[in-house]
Amino acid sequence: MIPMVDLKQQFHDIKDEICAAITEVLESSQYILGPKVMELERQIAAYHGMPAALGVASGTDALHLAVEALGIGEGDEVITTPFTFFATAEAIMYTGATPVFVDIEPDTMNIDPVEIEKKITERTRAILPVHIFGHPADMDRINALAKKYALKVIEDCAQSFGAEYNGRKTGSFGDAGCFSFYPSKNLGAYGDGGMILLKDPAVTEDVRKLRNHGSKGMYRHECVGFNSRLDEIQAAILLVKFGRIDHYNELRRQKAALYNSLLSGKVELPVERAGCRHVYHQYTIRSNNRVGLQKILHDKGASSVVYYPVPVHLQEAVSVLGYKKGDLPVAEEAAEKVLSLPVYPELEESSIREIAEIINHA
């Protein structure tokens, strides 16, 4: 079976460096908020041209702490996309704020700026775009709206490490850029982890406190916070992989280009807009007969996954918000047609040819 990802092969390719990095942490006995976390924060902030980066326990926590530190909570609204992993909405709801879902662009499947403006009210505090599957959201138009209505912008970059919009990295456009290091992400740890890129020094200090029980250290607690720290061992692993991220992303782009050249007109291919650098966290096609296509792929030995079968506004957990089928038709149609194919740096060219042939003959 051709897998969706092959983390074991990647580990074997870099095993010596990973094991040496882990051993160094174990020998140091500094296991929480030590030098590896600080070094990773420094390198990732510099990579994005941002003044600050703070490691946290997960991508979900990165979003949650960013929303919280930007002063958003009970009674506030945050406009976001329904076509995302559920955590995007959860993070907003943890703070007591209400997610307001707006429809997506048919081509990129990212939040549609035209729809955002229609839903801005006096309660709106922020826009939370997701760079879905690794393709940047339309940040110029989103930031223009944020400026016009004095809103915060929080980018969900869980799937877009290294992606670019007009030559600038995603995560550097908003007030906060939130990353996930979940193992299968483009930059993945061997456990949970996340990071927040920040601009404002006061907000940065608030996140620094929030991630560590409301304390800057020495058992003085200025607010009630959380235990949400990036683990030192994960930071050591991430430093090894971060050195290779541009190469890994380039390989993903090459795999995507090969799929694009091989797949004939029967399925809709992912787009890459002018000025955007897609990093293909997922290579996602759309088909009018997804169920049949997925079965054929499975029967012939190729994995595929539906990200995401139910848009967030129709999830049972948020039924209290009162959305119904038909409210956000573009996202709902995407959820019925999308199918993600294997794409990862180590994927063999022969596997891509095999998968393309199965689809072309299906």
Ligand X SMILES: Cc1ncc(COP(=O)(O)O)c(C=O)c1O
Question: Which residues form the interface with ligand X (CB under 6 A)?
Answer: 58-60, 84-85, 87-88, 130, 156, 158-159, 180, 182, 192, 194
Nearer to ligand X, 180 or 284 (CB): 180
The distance of closest approach from Cβ of residue 67 to ligand X in the complex, given in angstroms and rounded to an integer, is 12
Spatial distance between the Cα atoms of 4 and 24, rounded to a whole number of angstroms: 32
Spatial distance between the Cα atoms of 289 and 305, rounded to a whole number of angstroms: 14
Q: Return the residue nearest ligand X (CB atom).
A: 59
The distance of closest approach from Cβ of residue 20 to ligand X in the complex, given in angstroms and rounded to an integer, is 26
Q: State phi, psi for 154 to the nearest 5 degrees.
A: -120, 115
The distance of closest approach from Cβ of residue 281 to ligand X in the complex, given in angstroms and rounded to an integer, is 8
- Give how far Cα 324 sits from Cα of 214, 273, 312, Å: 39, 31, 11
Strand partners, 128: 80
Nearer to ligand X, 328 or 358 (CB): 328
The distance of closest approach from Cβ of residue 251 to ligand X in the complex, given in angstroms and rounded to an integer, is 20
Spatial distance between the Cα atoms of 179 and 171, rounded to a whole number of angstroms: 8
The distance of closest approach from Cβ of residue 318 to ligand X in the complex, given in angstroms and rounded to an integer, is 15
The distance of closest approach from Cβ of residue 217 to ligand X in the complex, given in angstroms and rounded to an integer, is 25
Structure tokens at 84: 């995302």
CA atoms within 13 A on the CB side of 80: 30
- Mark 200-232 as b/e (b = at least 16 C-beta within 10 Å): beebbbbbbbbbbbebeeeeeeeeebbebbbbb
* Contact status, residue 267 vs residue 359, Cβ threshold 8 Å: yes
Burial of 349 (0-12, 13-18, 19+ CB in 10 A): exposed
Nearer to ligand X, 193 or 263 (CB): 193
Nearer to ligand X, 82 or 359 (CB): 82
- The candidate with the shortest Cα–Cα distance to 180, out of 113, 123, 228, is 228
Nearer to ligand X, 94 or 259 (CB): 94
Nearer to ligand X, 47 or 161 (CB): 161
Nearer to ligand X, 103 or 263 (CB): 103
The distance of closest approach from Cβ of residue 188 to ligand X in the complex, given in angstroms and rounded to an integer, is 9
Nearer to ligand X, 176 or 359 (CB): 176
The distance of closest approach from Cβ of residue 153 to ligand X in the complex, given in angstroms and rounded to an integer, is 15
Nearer to ligand X, 83 or 248 (CB): 83
Structure tokens at 193: 């982890």
User: For every residue of 259-296, which 3-state class applies, written as one string?
Assistant: HHHHCCCCCECCCCCCCEECCCCCEEEECCCHHHHHHH
The distance of closest approach from Cβ of residue 16 to ligand X in the complex, given in angstroms and rounded to an integer, is 27
Spatial distance between the Cα atoms of 9 and 118, rounded to a whole number of angstroms: 47
- Mark 278-297 as b/e (b = at least 16 C-beta within 10 Å): bbbbbbbbbbeebeebbebb
